[in-house]
Amino acid sequence: MSIINRMPKVSGNLRENAPLGKKSHFGVGGVAEVLFEPSDMDDLVFFLRRIPKDIPVMPLGAMSNVLIRDGGIDGVVIVLGDWFKKVFVEGEIMEVGAGVPCSKLATVAMDNELGGLEFLMGLPGTIGGAIKMNAGCFGSEISNVLVECEGITTSGKVQWFKVRDIGATYRRTNIPDDCIITRAWFRGVSNVNYSIPKKIRELMKQRREAQPIGSRTCGSTFKNPDGYKAWQLIEKAGCRGLKVGGAQVSDKHCNFIVNTGGATASDVEILGEKIVQEVLRKTNVQLEWEIIKLGRKGND
């Protein structure tokens, strides 16, 4: 029996065998056994409190930092819809739905003449995922501007986290894996002594010059080890331009793997592991994936 027949009745959208790969930034990977898009917070809470406990649940955002394996994802994948994509501004505080793209929040802050969030324009994902991994770029991290956030566990328990309580470090927080971020509050800075639009233009110019913008990629493949830049280690190991199937190490920035056309998730993963092996062999430094690998391999 299909697990969709065991789902509680909801007002949101439930779909079987929903394609994920083509929607991911890599453009590779399989399907979700069931995809759920809740209509609002009440619908999400209702669903999580009533779904059978043996069915796994996984939240996904913009899929900008994940590799969906070719075998797809078993159980239920939750994607937050329009109700979770709203931003409200009051003074220097912005209440933000977890489904809001980081770039949209940067734009809203700019439109309201609030500084300090310009770096978010360079993050391709959504707010929820960015908070969970303390995403950052241009020398700033999301925990620098976060005040607090709301989440719900996969068992349906609503939780709150002050920024001081999430243990934010480089690309990590201690927010539990089973917690889905639903809302967050950020603080901007009014009356900054610089032009916010100009700063955003400068940051985006820097990004275009340094990264393979426009390619099918999920951004930085590996975290920077303590004391090192991952791209320098990859360069030193001779992996710039290395290719497996349709996946290739970018010539422009060698901590980016790009889908040159026709790549599979397996191509990307095999290439990434080759890089890890070569860097370890040539530099004695162990790289750690920044991209999150999800689901079953194609032959599982």
Buried b (16+ CB within 10 A) or exposed e, 209-233: eebbeebbbbbbbbbbeeeeebbeb
Choosing from 24, 103, 143, 220, the catalytic residue is 220
Cβ proximity of 289 and 62 under 8 Å: no
∠ CA(133), CA(135), CA(140), 5° rounding?
A: 140
Tokens of 264: 């599979």
For the question of residue 281 being annotated catalytic, the response is: no
**Which H or E element spans position 48?**
helix 41-50
DSSP letter string, 84-97: G--EEEETTEEEEE
For the question of residue 6 being annotated catalytic, the response is: no
Choosing from 118, 141, 269, 290, the catalytic residue is 290
CB atoms within 10 A of CB 197: 12
Tokens of 296: 């079953």
- C-alpha to C-alpha distance for 290 and 267, rounded to whole angstroms: 17
Cβ proximity of 177 and 153 under 8 Å: no
For the question of residue 171 being annotated catalytic, the response is: yes
User: Which residue in this structure is represented by tokens 């162990």?
Assistant: 286
Tokens of 288: 């750690």
Query: Residue 246: which of 226, 227, 266, 232 has the closest Cα?
Result: 266
Question: Which CB contacts under 8 angstroms, 24+ apart, belong to 162-170?
Answer: 166/131, 166/134, 168/134, 168/141, 168/143, 169/134, 170/134, 170/141, 170/223, 170/224
Choosing from 95, 148, 171, 187, the catalytic residue is 171
Q: Which residues are catalytic?
A: 171, 220, 290
